[in-house]
Amino acid sequence: DMTHADIVIESSWKYLGLEAMQDMWKDRQLPGKVIGITPSAISDNILLSTDLDVLDSSMLHCKGAEIASWLHENNMQEVPYVIIDDEYVILESQLPHFILTNPYDGLIEELAMRAIGILNRQ
């Protein structure tokens, strides 16, 4: 609510599809609007714009690459964004946008405030 950010889902739940994610979000009365889900593999366009000689092949199927692919495909590379996850599965370039949660505690207030700061560029 404090950032008016839209939400893109990068989760194992995304296999259910965008509409199911939107319904789940609404049913749980969570704030914000789910506008997309990341692809399950990186797009051809991002592959064509990446130096494959420096890309570790293990990164081709990681969450970070899928997030980068969604940002690229939706022309959102320059907008503020936050990745919130309980696993360190991002690209090095995404580190300033990353909030690592504890899988047992989830998104605690301190981490939520950091995410808000990133989104509001503070």
3-state per-residue secondary structure call for 72-120 = HHCCCCCCCCCEEECCCCCCHHHHHHEEECECCCECCHHHHHHHHHHHC
Q: Which residues of the chain have pLDDT under 70?
A: 41-61, 122
Look-up of token digits 């506008």: 35
What distances in angstroms separate CA 24 from CA 21, 32, 81, one per listed residue?
Answer: 5, 12, 22
Report whether 72 contacts 43 (CB < 8 A). Answer: yes
Write down the pLDDT at residue 37: 92
- Report the Cα 27 to chain-centroid distance in Å: 21
Write down the pLDDT at residue 74: 93
Enclosing H/E stretch for 19: helix 18-27
